[in-house]
Amino acid sequence: MSGGATTTGVTRAEYCVVACAEAWRHSGEILASPMGTVPAIGARLAKLTFAPDLLLTDGEALLIGDVPALGARAQVVEGWLPYRQHLALVATGRRHVMMGAGQIDRHGNQNISCIGDWARPARQLLGVRGAPVNTLNNTTSYWVPKHSPRAFVEQVDMVCGVGYDRAAEAGPSATRFHHVPEVVSNLGVFDFATPDHSMRLRSRHPGVTVEQILKATGFALTVPDEVPYTREPATEELRLVREVIDPKGARDREVPA
Amino acid sequence: MSDKTMTAEQVVGRLRSGMTLGIGGWGSRRKPMALIRALLRSDVTDLTVVSYGGPDVGLLAAAGRIRTLVAPFATLDSVALEPHFTAARQRGAFDLVELDEAMFMWGLTAAAQRLPFLPVRAGLGSDVMKVNPHLRTVTSPYEDAEELVAVPALCLDAALVHLNRADPQGNAQYLGPDPYFDDLFCQAAAASYVSCERIVDTADLLKEAGPQTLLIKRAFVNGVVQTPNGAHFTSCVPDHDRDEAFQQAYARAARDAQAWQGFSERFLSGDEEAYQAAVKAFHEEQQS
């Protein structure tokens, strides 16, 4: 199955960009907060095409009114969003963040704090950052550029972003605004549309086999009988990604072809 | 009105071992680095450090000055992981109170408003509750009866912040796009010390920007220090960007004990003037 990539010249990174962009399709007038290169390109692509009402930031304290290339300065500022307003905005729910994940499990619990025992970690990472507040207040998706059994684990070492089982356990205050629609990796797109909200394979990127995904996943993944391919980018979408949003090809450094 | 100008050494002279110290800025942005460097030259230790962590945390951790760290992260921003922080955590060098970014903000806010706690949704269901067994929940007394996390006030003995301008009385101004949480740190602290790029007359504060940039009020400030380039190597826009080349050198050195010794001798063995001169020499070498 090496279909799409070779026939149309679409790279894996570009399928990932389109898959990330799709996360924001029906978001409406909210802030898109992408963490990582491919989600950043995806959010800008969504804004330039099917989700024009999205709010974007310059990665610092400004809401931008235009859609500059990655790394370029915005020419139009439409708002001010310093860190403390950003944290307050999360509580209003008008935001859909796509975070990274050092580890993620089958219920959508995410870890970016540390690997190993928290008291004395084998490998210290960033810390919990805003994952707990994000997952309980606004829509939270995840992006994992290197899908492997080390990232997709049976149980995360420290629950930073709260998954479906842990939210349910914590009660109605935790589930009230909890919503983790999807996980995008370099191999496919995953959601939690199963009776027990465990992770399900929604689509595989062209060139990827189901076996490959199962082998790279450290827990029992729900796999439907028919697994569709992640959709092809439209010609205009490819042009926007290649010429307007990411002319320097940063996407290929995050997801090599 | 009282003139509160002092030196970085005088600020450090007001700090004591065992204190709870809040440090302003965020990650590798507008950190009061000159004050941290002065602190490193003192024998003040056993600190509880409260910070949206950057190289302030890294340097203090490397020097063994931290007993307890209260933080949601430590990062150098353009370098994702703070190498001294990660190494210190991996050798169990200090106790960590790991809070979510918003919980941290509401903890400071509670302290500033003299409340014992503030209720937040963040934290429920996450392991922040597990690794902080002291955290309690509170039930809404209203009909909804929601169970929320009661974030305890983060009361500080002292706060250190760095801004662009200040007057001698302690009115302080930020000229960049983000105030971070510096006013909150000052309000949450029993005593606050502001370093700045330049001390100006009160009458000149509004010459560069509007009144909304006057972030910190003098009633919350005990000392003002003029330390040009005092946030180096973190950013202090528009006065200066982050010194990425220097930060790279810092991060490289911090990953290796021998390299760190060399870096430390070259840049941190003298006073602030010597530091700034060594940084200048570093850049001249980079040029050639």
Mean pLDDT of chain B: 98
Integer Cα distance of B74 and B77 in angstroms: 9
Query: DSSP string of A121-181?
Result: -SEE-S--TTHHHHHHHSEEEEEESS--TTTB-SS-SS--B--HHHHHHH-HHHHTT----
The answer to the question of residue A4 being in a domain is no
Question: Chain B: residue nearest A129 by CA?
Answer: B72
Backbone angles phi and psi of B120, in degrees to 5: -140, 160
Integer Cα distance of A49 and A21 in angstroms: 10
Chain A residues in contact with B80 by the CB 8 A cut-off are 126
CB-based contact B124 A161, cutoff 8 Å: no
The answer to the question of residue A7 being in a domain is no
Give the mean pLDDT of B275-283. Answer: 98
The answer to the question of residue A119 being in a domain is yes
Q: Domain holding A32: CATH number?
A: 3.40.1080.10
**pLDDT (tens digit, 9 = 90+) per residue, B210-233?**
999 999 999 999 999 999 999 999
pLDDT band at residue B206 using 50, 70 and 90 as cut-offs: very high
> Do B189 and B156 form a contact (C-beta atoms < 8 A)?
yes
pLDDT band at residue B201 using 50, 70 and 90 as cut-offs: very high
Chain B residues in contact with A130 by the CB 8 A cut-off are 72, 100-102
CB-based contact A87 B72, cutoff 8 Å: no
Write out the residues of chain B at the interface with chain A, using a CB-CB cutoff of 8 A.
26, 52-53, 71-75, 80-81, 85-87, 89-92, 98-103, 105, 120-128, 130-131, 146-148, 177-181, 184
pLDDT band at residue B288 using 50, 70 and 90 as cut-offs: confident
The fraction of chain B above a pLDDT of 70, given in percent, is 100
H-helix or E-strand spanning residue A6: helix A3-8
Is residue A162 less than 8 Å (CB to CB) from chain B? yes
**pLDDT (tens digit, 9 = 90+) per residue, B62-84?**
999 999 999 999 999 999 999 99
Kindly give the confidence (pLDDT) of every residue in chain A, 257 residues in length, as a single tens digit, with 9 standing for 90 and above: 333 344 469 999 999 999 999 999 999 999 999 999 999 999 999 999 999 999 999 999 999 999 999 999 999 999 999 999 999 999 999 999 999 999 999 999 999 999 999 999 999 999 999 999 999 999 999 999 999 999 999 999 999 999 999 999 999 999 999 999 999 999 999 999 999 999 999 999 999 999 999 999 999 999 999 999 999 999 999 999 999 999 999 999 999 97
In this structure, the strands spanning A139-144 and A182-185 are: parallel
Chain A residues in contact with B177 by the CB 8 A cut-off are 60-62, 80, 82
Count of residues making up chain B: 288
Alpha-carbon dihedral sign for residues B175, B178, B184, B185? negative
ipTM value greater than 0.90:
yes
* Structural domains of chain A, count: 1
The fraction of chain B above a pLDDT of 90, given in percent, is 99
The answer to the question of residue A161 being in a domain is yes
CA dihedral angle for residue B90, residue B92, residue B95, residue B99, rounded to 10 degrees: 20
Half-sphere exposure of B186 (CA within 13 A, CB side): 26
Between the alpha carbon of residue B254 and those of residues A237, B55, B250, B258, the distances in Å are 43, 11, 6, 9
Q: How many CB pairs under 8 A join A and B?
A: 141
Q: What is the pTM of this model?
A: 0.97
Residue-number span of the structural domain to which A119 is assigned: 12-251
The DSSP call for residue A8 is H
**pLDDT (tens digit, 9 = 90+) per residue, B120-145?**
999 999 999 999 999 999 999 999 99
Widest Cα–Cα separation across chain B: 70
pLDDT at residue number A8? 65
The answer to the question of residue A189 being in a domain is yes
The answer to the question of residue A49 being in a domain is yes
Supply the angle between the helices B101-112 and A83-92 in degrees, to the nearest 10: 110
Question: Chain B: residue nearest A156 by CA?
Answer: B127
Give the mean pLDDT of B244-263. Answer: 98
Joined together, the tokens standing for residue B96 give 């960590």
Count of residues making up chain A: 257
CA distance B70 to chain A (A): 11
* Residue of A133, A156, A158, A178 to mutate for B, most B C-beta atoms under 10 A: A133
